[in-house]
Amino acid sequence: MKIAILGFGTVGEGVYKILTESKDLYQSRFGQSIEIEKILVHNVAKKRDIKEANQIITDNFEEILQDPNIELIVEVTSSKNQAIEYIRKSLMAGKHVVSANKAAIAVDFKELQKIAIQQNVHFKFEASVAGGIPVLSSLGRLIAFNDISLLHGIINSSTNYVLTEICKGRDETEVIAEARELGILEANPTDDIAGFDARRKLAILAMMILQIEISEQSIPSIGITQVDSRDSEILNKLGYEIKLIAELLNGEKSGLKEKQIALSVFPTALNNSKFNRVNGMMNEVTFNGSYCGELRFYGAGGSMYPTANAIVSDIYETITNKPLYFPVKENQYENISDQIESSFYIRIPDSLMVNEDLNNEIIEMAEKILLAKKEVIIFSKPISNQKAVEL
């Protein structure tokens, strides 16, 4: 199969390297090959480690689109709007598309599914959620006959890295500066730190599972901007660690009523949980299906090779599988994401502690509750998610 790669950043280069390095292994196992026909870049003059670069590199997307030999487009550009355009045009031209662009996929999920179905081509996006973990392919098959009642995930690597380091007792400002230097956080880290990236991935998962439209913005989310080393110190002492958890609750088995759903992305204090070994850049997605039971998938959340591995898996599945679609249907659920109540951790900052008597009273009270029942002491009474996000 002849393919084109749009973009040659870290992931694009990873895809190029895997396909080049594993050519023999793939050929020996499957007696066929995947040929990179074109690579789309901004600057064709830039020196790159690509064989026969002058034949392969182009800055002209139309040239790729018009080439009837190219059956599959790997979209790994970094811009959201251009990516949507590339994906849409490629699907419309009857080409399969494999993309890692979660922003583009989340925002245009419904329409892109529709076009892919009309054109009878593959539209695959394993790399867009939980990087190198083959969770979408497994989930995609399982929902053919399983109702998914519950999904939890650590699906943002950079915040998981930051939280892991903070939980070691390090200062949050120092950790964030370091993460930026290491390229773990982008120059503008808002998307990650505010939880937008995680809720975008949760929206994709939810649209696959529920087959309804879920906008990112509708998911109550609190990032990790308000988590600092004092919080982790207090919580660690109590046996908790802090993780940014994306959650989907669906129906009675998740504790809601039938046809009720609730989604959220919150930093969560976890005590002895299944996620306690998911540290640094690693991700984990767990879900419960009516027949498969609880499944957990753990692996690298990002970085060059794992992400590129997910893309190559998608290319491979495009060759070997029939297309799998996730059409968005009419909403049949009551989304109670905003109304659902959780217990929230509240630390009263020194600046608000104006009255020493009151301070001491609160501390004393907290201690008493701590002694009486460890689990609740530093958590608030349940308040609604909407309220929590507003606060």
Rounded Cα gap, residues 238 and 18, in angstroms: 45
Contacts of residue 41, Cβ cutoff 8 Å, sequence gap at least 6: 7, 8, 48, 57, 58, 59
CB burial of 166-195 (b: ≥16 within 10 Å; e: otherwise) equals bbeeeebeebbeebeeeebbeeebebbbbb
Nearest distance, CB of residue 210 and a second copy, angstroms: 12
Q: Which is nearer to a second copy, 29 or 51 (CB)?
A: 29
Q: Which is nearer to a second copy, 35 or 367 (CB)?
A: 35
Nearest distance, CB of residue 322 and a second copy, angstroms: 4
Q: Which is nearer to a second copy, 41 or 311 (CB)?
A: 311
Nearest distance, CB of residue 16 and a second copy, angstroms: 12
Nearest distance, CB of residue 226 and a second copy, angstroms: 29
**Residue-wise DSSP of 128-175:** GSSTT-THHHHHHHHTTT--EEEEEEE--HHHHHHHHHHTTT--HHHH
Sign of torsion over alpha carbons 7, 11, 13, 15: negative
Residues that bind a second copy (CB under 8 A): 14, 18-19, 22, 25-26, 29-30, 132-134, 137-138, 141-147, 274, 276-277, 286, 289-300, 305-306, 308-310, 312-313, 316-317, 319-322, 324
Q: Which is nearer to a second copy, 26 or 379 (CB)?
A: 26
Query: 265, 217 in Cβ contact below 8 A?
Result: no
Q: Work out the end-to-end distance of the chain between its first and last CA atoms, rounded to an integer number of angstroms.
A: 53
Nearest distance, CB of residue 365 and a second copy, angstroms: 35
Q: Which is nearer to a second copy, 55 or 276 (CB)?
A: 276
List, by residue number, the catalytic residues: 201
Query: 207, 333 in Cβ contact below 8 A?
Result: no
